[in-house]
């Protein structure tokens, strides 16, 4: 059996992403023994790809890509399968002076037609001149690109034997390193333009100050390469720091989440990240599956980000796997986004998932995060996401643009060397969020406490009812925790204008078919929101798996709202204030 690449790199001096370009970083990493290791859904090592081999194969493919007639600066769409072909193609683009644009896989798009349509829009949005994907999606890709004027499309292996330029003719890398599509957009897909300089700044500050990468570190990941946390956090940054990475396909993690922890155990992984739902899947599966043999003592950086952080989920995970030597202090909450390459803030070493408990009523009515006490009628818990990375700044501003004091909730603006160049081909959209002074409007709401950042939610998702600011994720989490039959991701909350005022709509995925049971569930939730939250709501039961997700697997409230308004959800069982 092939052995994975080692954790140590044979005397090569470790450098923490202090290079000029991604290609230069791979040139250096190739001098050691570390690399990428791809596993199947059964935990079998299917491909070992040392950085030296990756570099040689990427250089060859770069010559072939230019041999097809592609020119430096052209965009190349890459369906982001978690395999060696994606890595070879991505780095080949770097050596060929091309701009790769990772594209999502079908999982989150609800069927063939929806995926092909979305994929075509993304290819057009990137103004791609070529598109490549895995063999299993070759037919779908062919439909997506039909009629488009591309220089080539299909599987990378089809270029074997194709004409290629001499290696000496390879150009210098483009200053634009890649396009990263933001996962949650409901508009025409926008590609975040990430420069070589922005990537290197982010990777360096993450590695040196956020993760404090050392000689013994090894990464483990199931995160998709079409999402910034997977691409930057567990392909590009580890390579730029000469770290070995053990990789599970995203779809296989969803089926067998404990395989993630078993892989950490097997290879003594020390750095691995996940959104809240990944930790929740593991804790839930551990109720019925054996965790014997899982040893998480090597896991020193258990990152949490990519979505609103659920404190209760982290508590359950830590409690469930304490016997497997998981340390609560390993949790490292962070905050970031594709528009900032990846990360903006990290919690301090050893702080863990520290919570801030605030008075919920004051927060809703006065927009202040006042510490809760024994007289608080409702308490909100937020996870503190740490301090900004060096050379990066943050401001919390009110609706009028004025700076707010600590514990005052407002709009989050950030500035620093990791920020995007802009949205590719969309100057008006860029100007809407990125000021001439370099400040990015993140679209998030939050506050500062002792110099650390706390995120309370997305501004566009905020529900305003009778002067109260209500965060939809609070209502969703509360309902999922209150009703045993509900699972994470079963509830979507948003508001709509019914002509007189704002109505709060609650979409609930329901698995029961008995009419009486369905009516009872709708009524139970209506009374719950009225009694516990003081809100009148319209609860609408929808079929299982019908709530839309972003390409990274998160609930898309904006798309759920659009589907509701378009009549996609028939109200087979609803309950309103009249009940």
Per the listing, tokens 């609706």 go with 399
Q: What is the mean pLDDT of residues 285-314?
A: 93
Q: Are residues 475 and 453 in the same domain?
A: no
CATH of the domain at 207: 3.40.50.12780
| Residue-by-residue DSSP string for 335-360 | EE-GGGSSEEEEPPTT--S-EEEEEH
**pLDDT digit string, tens, across residues 472-486:** 888 888 888 888 888
Is 248 domain-assigned? no
* Whole-number pLDDT of residue 453: 98
Does residue 578 have a pLDDT over 60?
Answer: no
Q: Are residues 437 and 494 in the same domain?
A: no
Q: CA geometry: angle at 265 spanning 264 and 267, to 5°? A: 70
Is 15 domain-assigned? no
Q: Are residues 442 and 485 in the same domain?
A: no
Query: Which residues fall within 8 angstroms of residue 334, CB to CB, at 6 or more apart?
Result: 210, 303, 304, 305, 343, 344, 345, 346, 347, 385, 386
DSSP H/E element including 366: helix 360-366
* Whole-number pLDDT of residue 461: 82
Q: What is the band of 83 on the pLDDT scale with cuts at 50, 70, 90?
A: very high
CATH of the domain at 483: 3.30.300.30
Q: Are residues 349 and 440 in the same domain?
A: yes
Does residue 109 have a pLDDT over 60?
Answer: no
Q: Are residues 295 and 201 in the same domain?
A: no
Distance spanning both ends of the chain, measured CA to CA = 64
* Whole-number pLDDT of residue 579: 44
d(CA 164, CA 102): 23
DSSP H/E element including 528: helix 515-533
* Whole-number pLDDT of residue 577: 43
d(CA 180, CA 380): 33
Domain boundary among 458, 475, 497: 458
| Nearest residue to 274 via CA among 321, 326, 314 | 314
**504 or 75, which is more confident:** 75
Does residue 256 have a pLDDT over 80?
Answer: yes
Both tokens assigned to 149: 């004027």
* Whole-number pLDDT of residue 251: 87
Is 66 domain-assigned? yes
How many structural domains comprise the chain? 3
Q: Are residues 506 and 429 in the same domain?
A: no
Taking phi first (over 0 means left), then psi (-120 to 50 degrees means alpha), and beta for anything else, what does residue 329 get?
Answer: alpha
| Nearest residue to 459 via CA among 562, 332, 367 | 367
Q: Name 245's bridge partners.
A: 36, 219
Q: Are residues 361 and 476 in the same domain?
A: no
| Nearest residue to 411 via CA among 441, 454, 383 | 441
Is 213 domain-assigned? yes
| Nearest residue to 213 via CA among 339, 349, 23, 22 | 349
d(CA 329, CA 326): 9
Does residue 394 have a pLDDT over 70?
Answer: yes
Domain boundary among 437, 458, 479: 458
**pLDDT digit string, tens, across residues 20-30:** 999 999 999 99
d(CA 402, CA 208): 33
Query: Which residues fall within 8 angstroms of residue 411, CB to CB, at 6 or more apart?
Result: 396, 397, 398, 399, 441, 442, 443, 444, 445, 459
Q: Are residues 424 and 490 in the same domain?
A: no
Q: What is the band of 563 on the pLDDT scale with cuts at 50, 70, 90?
A: confident
What DSSP designation does 256 have? -
Does residue 457 have a pLDDT over 90?
Answer: no
Q: Are residues 486 and 510 in the same domain?
A: yes
Q: What percent of the chain has pLDDT over 90?
A: 70
What DSSP designation does 370 have? P
Is 11 domain-assigned? no
d(CA 282, CA 280): 5
Is 12 domain-assigned? no
* Whole-number pLDDT of residue 302: 98
Is 432 domain-assigned? yes
* Whole-number pLDDT of residue 216: 95
Alpha helices in 192-340 (DSSP H): 196-205, 228-231, 237-240, 250-255, 258-267, 276-285, 311-320
Per the listing, tokens 């044979």 go with 10
Alpha helices in 241-325 (DSSP H): 250-255, 258-267, 276-285, 311-320
* Whole-number pLDDT of residue 184: 46
Q: What is the band of 186 on the pLDDT scale with cuts at 50, 70, 90?
A: very low
* Whole-number pLDDT of residue 528: 87
Q: Are residues 527 and 554 in the same domain?
A: yes
* Whole-number pLDDT of residue 80: 94
Q: What is the mean pLDDT of residues 317-342?
A: 97
Least confident piece of the model among 45-54, 156-165, 414-423: 156-165
Q: Are residues 326 and 441 in the same domain?
A: yes
**pLDDT digit string, tens, across residues 208-238:** 999 999 999 999 999 999 999 999 999 999 9
Q: Are residues 469 and 427 in the same domain?
A: no
Q: What is the mean pLDDT of residues 178-185?
A: 74
Is 259 domain-assigned? no
**pLDDT digit string, tens, across residues 525-559:** 998 888 877 788 899 999 988 888 775 567 888 88
Least confident piece of the model among 5-19, 159-173, 205-219, 490-504: 490-504
**22 or 510, which is more confident:** 22
Q: Is 477 helix (H, G, I), strand (E, B) or coil?
A: helix
The parent domain of residue 339 ranges over 268-458
């Amino acid at each position: 059996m092939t052995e994975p690449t080692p954790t140590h790199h044979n005397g090569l001096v470790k450098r923490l992403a202090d290079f000029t370009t991604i290609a230069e970083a791979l040139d250096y990493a190739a001098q050691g023994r570390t690399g990428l290791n791809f596993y199947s859904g059964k935990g079998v090592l299917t491909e070992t790809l040392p950085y030296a081999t990756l570099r040689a194969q990427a250089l060859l493919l770069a010559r072939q890509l230019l041999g097809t007639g592609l020119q430096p600066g052209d965009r190349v769409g890459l369906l982001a399968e978690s395999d060696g072909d994606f890595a070879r193609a991505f780095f080949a683009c770097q050596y060929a002076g091309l701009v790769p644009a990772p594209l999502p896989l079908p999982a989150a798009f609800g069927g063939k037609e929806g995926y092909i349509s979305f994929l075509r829009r993304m290819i057009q949005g990137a103004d791609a001149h070529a598109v490549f994907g895995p063999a299993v999606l070759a037919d779908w890709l062919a439909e997506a690109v039909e009629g488009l004027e591309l220089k080539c499309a299909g599987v990378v292996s089809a270029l074997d034997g194709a004409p290629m330029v001499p290696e000496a003719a390879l150009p210098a890398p483009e200053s634009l390193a890649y396009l990263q599509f933001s996962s949650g957009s409901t508009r025409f897909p926008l590609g975040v333009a990430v420069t070589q300089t922005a990537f290197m700044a982010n990777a360096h500050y993450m590695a040196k100050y956020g993760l404090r990468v050392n000689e013994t570190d090894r990464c483990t990941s199931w995160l998709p390469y079409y999402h910034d946390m997977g691409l930057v956090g567990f392909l590009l940054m580890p390579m730029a720091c000469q770290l070995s990475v053990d990789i599970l396909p995203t779809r296989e993690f969803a089926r067998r989440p404990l395989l993630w922890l078993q892989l950490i155990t097997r290879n003594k992984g020390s750095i691995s990240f996940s959104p809240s739902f990944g930790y929740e899947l593991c804790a839930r599966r551990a109720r019925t599956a054996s965790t014997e043999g899982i040893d998480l003592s090597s896991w020193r950086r258990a990152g949490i980000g990519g979505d609103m952080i659920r404190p209760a989920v982290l508590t359950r995970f830590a409690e469930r796997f304490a016997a497997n030597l998981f340390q609560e202090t390993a949790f490292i909450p962070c905050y970031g986004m594709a528009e900032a390459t990846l990360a903006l803030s990290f919690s301090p070493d050893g702080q863990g998932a520290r919570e801030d408990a605030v008075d919920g009523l004051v927060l809703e009515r006065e927009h202040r995060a006042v510490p809760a006490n024994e007289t608080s009628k409702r308490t909100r818990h937020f996870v503190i996401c740490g301090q900004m990375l060096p050379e990066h700044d943050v401001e919390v501003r009110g609706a009028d643009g004025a700076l707010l004091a600590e514990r005052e909730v407002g709009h989050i603006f950030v500035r620093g060397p990791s920020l995007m160049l802009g949205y590719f081909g969309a100057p008006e959209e860029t100007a809407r969020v990125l000021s001439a002074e370099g400040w990015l409007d993140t679209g998030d709401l939050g506050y500062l406490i002792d110099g650390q950042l706390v995120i309370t939610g997305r501004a566009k998702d905020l529900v305003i009812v009778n002067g109260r600011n209500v965060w939809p994720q609070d209502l969703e989490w509360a309902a999922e925790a209150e009703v045993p039959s509900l699972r994470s991701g079963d509830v979507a909350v948003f508001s709509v204008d019914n002509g007189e005022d704002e109505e709060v709509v609650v979409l609930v995925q329901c698995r029961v078919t008995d009419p009486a049971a369905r009516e009872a569930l709708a009524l139970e939730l209506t009374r719950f929101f009225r009694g516990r939250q003081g809100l009148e709501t319209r609860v609408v039961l929808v079929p299982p798996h019908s709530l839309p997700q972003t390409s990274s697997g998160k609930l898309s409230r904006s798309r759920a709202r659009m589907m509701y308004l378009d009549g996609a959800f028939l109200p087979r069982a609803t309950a309103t204030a009249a009940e």
